[in-house]
Amino acid sequence: MFDRLTNLQSLRLSYNNFQRKLPSSLFALTQLSSLDCSKNEIEGPLPDKVAFLNLTQLSLQGNLLNGTIPQWALSLKSLRYLDLSNNRFTGHINEITSNSLEYLDLCNNELQGNIPESIFDLVNLSNLCLSPHNWSDTVHFSLFSKLQKLSHLSLSGCNSLVLGSETSVNYTFSNLQALQLRSNNIIGYSTFSGNFSELEFLELSNSKLEGKVPKWIHDNNLVNLTELCLSSDNHGGFVNFSLFSKFQNLSSLTLSGYESISLKSDVNANYTFSNLYMLRLFSNTILDFPKFSGKFHNKLQGKVPKWIHDLNSLYLMNLSTNQLTSIDHFSWHGLQYLDLSSNLMTDEISFHPLQCFYSSI
């Protein structure tokens, strides 16, 4: 199929309906520098050898490729972009010697074993995704601080992910904008320290998190933080809502799994969350209804407070599965989704449904 295209340098076949294996003639194109076959239904393993030694970009994500990742895909000297995510690759990751790599995405495969130490030598990496896989070794998060150009890091499935250290070293991640640590067995959650001055997105969900919200989260001047998710079944201690009011750009906040604690706020203070439009507080025990809107599967009682109507930017509110008895009349501003189901409402509820796209009461 590609035999006569000997001078071809760039080939994009993404978002088609290609099935079965890629033809062997494709891997014999010596001048090819960019290959994108993403979002097809390509099957089978990749060949053991290729002829395009000057390849700079390879995207095969969103296919049905299987087998192990061949060594050539991890050793091409000029390769800057490698996306093999959302396939069915299995086995271990070999040592990576493509030192020019800036983007590496191996997410959503069936890889296992250890994270190769050579990853921490890829000093040009700006985007690294290794989720979700069954990483069997102990992973020390501090090693990622060697990658000073990292802006996006996703890591999940670690049997032992060590965040804190006994030396109390403050690691610097000066360019990191998005950090996703999902479904890990995290050690040193509350003692970890680091500098994350550019962080915009932080997710620590479905992991074994123990203790209070770590000091490094509120010690960092996270002025750019827009999304924060702290979700676990093993939290302890108290969470003071005033902690999150310092993040003035926060648009989405999720706190869940605090079954052994209470979320509390200073009842005499009014905290400003001017940009928040999504708040999830589910599966918690809340003793004091914080001066903000809450979410479902808590133990909230009494009236829905009047201060909710001041949340002009709020578009989604879920207060279902609580013990709320009444709600005062107020205008709903930009609210589009409202869920008050499974409560103990006895009073007539007065609002303008035309202003609400979806309601469940």
pTM of the predicted protein model: 0.80
Kindly report the CATH number assigned to the domain that includes residue 73.
3.80.10.10
Domain count of the fold of the chain: 1
Which residues are paired to 324 by β-bridges? 302
Instruction: Round to whole Å and give the CA distance between 85 and 105.
Output: 6
> Does the residue 32 lie in any domain?
yes
Instruction: Round to whole Å and give the CA distance between 296 and 321.
Output: 6
> Does the residue 177 lie in any domain?
no
pLDDT per residue as tens digits for the range 18-45: 988 999 999 999 999 999 999 999 999 9
> Does the residue 16 lie in any domain?
yes
Reading the block at residue 224, the tokens are: 């750019």
Distant-in-sequence, close-in-space partners of 170: CB < 8 Å, separation ≥ 6:
193, 194, 195
Reading the block at residue 332, the tokens are: 């709903």
> Does the residue 236 lie in any domain?
no
DSSP of 224-283: T--EEEEE-S-B-S-EEGGGGGG-TT--EEEEE--TTS-EE--TT-----TT--EEEEES
> Does the residue 248 lie in any domain?
no
pLDDT at 261 over 50: no
pLDDT at 298 over 60: no
Nearest 5°: phi and psi at 324?
-75, 140
> Does the residue 41 lie in any domain?
yes
Q: Residue 34: give the domain boundaries.
A: 1-125
pLDDT per residue as tens digits for the range 312-338: 566 667 667 666 777 665 555 667 777
Give residue 164's pLDDT: 67
> Does the residue 340 lie in any domain?
no
Strands (E), 60-206: 64-67, 81-83, 88-91, 103-105, 110-113, 127-130, 134-140, 152-156, 158-162, 171-172, 178-182, 186-187, 194-195, 201-205
> Does the residue 266 lie in any domain?
no
Instruction: Round to whole Å and give the CA distance between 192 and 181.
Output: 14
